[in-house]
Structure 1
Amino acid sequence: MEAVGLALITIILAYLLGSLNGAYYMMKWKHGIDIRTTGSGNAGATNAGRAMGKQGFFWVLVFDIAKGMLAVVLIKWSGQTEIIAGFSVIAAVLGHIFPIQLRFKGGKGIAVSLGALVIFSYQATLLLIAAFLVIYLFVKKFSISGLLAYASTAMLLPFLRLDMTTIAVYVVVTVLILAAHHTHLKAAWSYLLLRNER
């Protein structure tokens, strides 16, 4: 029972770390407004860049990656199993997308997931980063490149011969990321349909 209790506590801690929103805090500190009321309405690094420039994007990106890394490092440091570490990755991403202190309206989860996943499985994350860089060279769009990288990595992971826990965590995180970006996906799909009709 003690092990179960410790596992639940660490997963909850990962969620709470994920829910700390750098874009919201920085925008409040610098301009005194809620970042979700400006730009795309997203409390993440991309919208922070729109509202506060390159420095805003950079520091929010660093903050979100760091909190994802910390969430998993703490679980590994406490001696929890890989399965619990996997749940902590998912919890951190859920915390960023649905932060309790912001009434469950946060960011899209790419940066925090990248930080959490690089600690959870650096091999798979290197594949993710490589896929992103290759796709970005052609697409030149940060968000769409990230989405395509996650989707392609989830399909390529079995070829790395990783354990099923790692693959399952990556697939779940990919589903969460794609769901959080549903408006981007709809817009991209509509654009493709319009191009094909011409």
Structure 2
Amino acid sequence: MILTTLLLIAIGYLLGAIPSGYLAARWLKGIDLRDCGSGSTGATNVLRNVGKAPALVVFLVDVGKGALTVLLAKSAGLNDWVQVLAGLAALAGHIWPIWLGWKGGKAVATGLGMFLGLAWPVGLACFGLFIAVISIFRIVSLSSVVAAIGLPLLMLISGSGSAYVVVSLVAMLLVLWRHRSNIQRLIAGTEPRIGQKQSAN
């Protein structure tokens, strides 16, 4: 049990650390995303610096990383807490990938994948909240922050177990922390909307 848990945590980290956004930018534009825009290797920075189609692919891959990690833990018959640990390992891998000097993305897409794997109705509801906000305001970071704040509330409403509620709180804090510079720009009214270029932090 302990060895299986450790193995799944390691697999989760390595899956999360797959640098999909970085690779897309390198292969298609010959640029290092860490030196562009927000410096994040996530889908939003790919959208701004590489294009819509690559950003969509990166988004789907990043969602898949989080979902696959949790589904592997579930298929192994492990309990909720181990599933949560595996999912958090994927988030950690995405945020702090060993291959890129510990500088990765903001974990929104990978987090969505993790919650789709843990409790898909909550994951879909959270994604719906993201889509609603982005449709109105066209600001990705605002949509991510609102969805992150709504996540624990949605998990509580769904009646999920304590492990899922705890991880939703942890994920919310991680997303808010990773978006702290975006939040500052939102308050200042300088955060770019979709279609606008973002200056480096």
**TM-score, normalization by structure 2:** 0.88
C-alpha RMSD of the superposition: 1.6
* AA matched with 2:71: V
Query: Which residue of 2 is the match for residue 149 of structure 1?
Result: 147
Secondary structure in 2 aligned to 1:39? coil
- Give ranges in structure 2 of 5+ residues lacking alignment: 191-201
Q: Please give the secondary structure, in 1, of the residue aligned with 2:50.
A: helix
Residue among 163, 166, 171 paired with 2:164:
166
Q: Does 1:112 align with 2:110?
A: yes
2:89 is matched with: 91
Structure with bigger gyration radius: 1
Deviations 1:9-34 (A, max 9, x none): 11111011001011111112223332
Distance 1:122 1:190 in 2: 35
Tell me how far apart the structure 1 counterparts of residues 134 and 28 of structure 2 sit (CA, whole Å): 31
Distance 2:66 2:154 in 1: 23
2: CA distance, partners of 1:174 / 1:126: 16
**What does residue 196 of structure 2 align with?**
none
Matched residue type, 1:181: H
CA distance in 2, matches of 1:71, 1:157: 19
CA deviation vs aligned residue, 1:113-141 (integer Å, no higher than 9, x gap)? 11111011112212212322332333221
Indicate the residue corresponding to 2:51 in structure 1.
53
More helix as a share of residues: 1
Matched position secondary structure for 1:42: coil
Q: Is the 1:131–1:153 contact (alpha carbons within 8 Å) kept by the matching residues of 2?
A: no
Task: Decide which moves more: 30-39 or 160-169.
Answer: 30-39
* 8 Å CA contact 1:49, 1:56 repeated in 2: yes
Q: How far is 1:171 from its partner?
A: 0.9
Gaps of 5+ in 1: 193-198
Task: Give the structure 2 partner of residue 74 of structure 1.
Answer: 72
Percent identical among aligned pairs is: 30
Deviation at 1:94, TM superposition (A): 1.1
Q: Secondary structure at the match of 1:106?
A: coil
What is the aligned residue count? 190
User: Relative contact order, CA 8 A, sep 6+: which one is greater?
Assistant: 2
In the TM superposition, what is the alpha-carbon distance from 1:109 to its structure 2 partner? 0.5
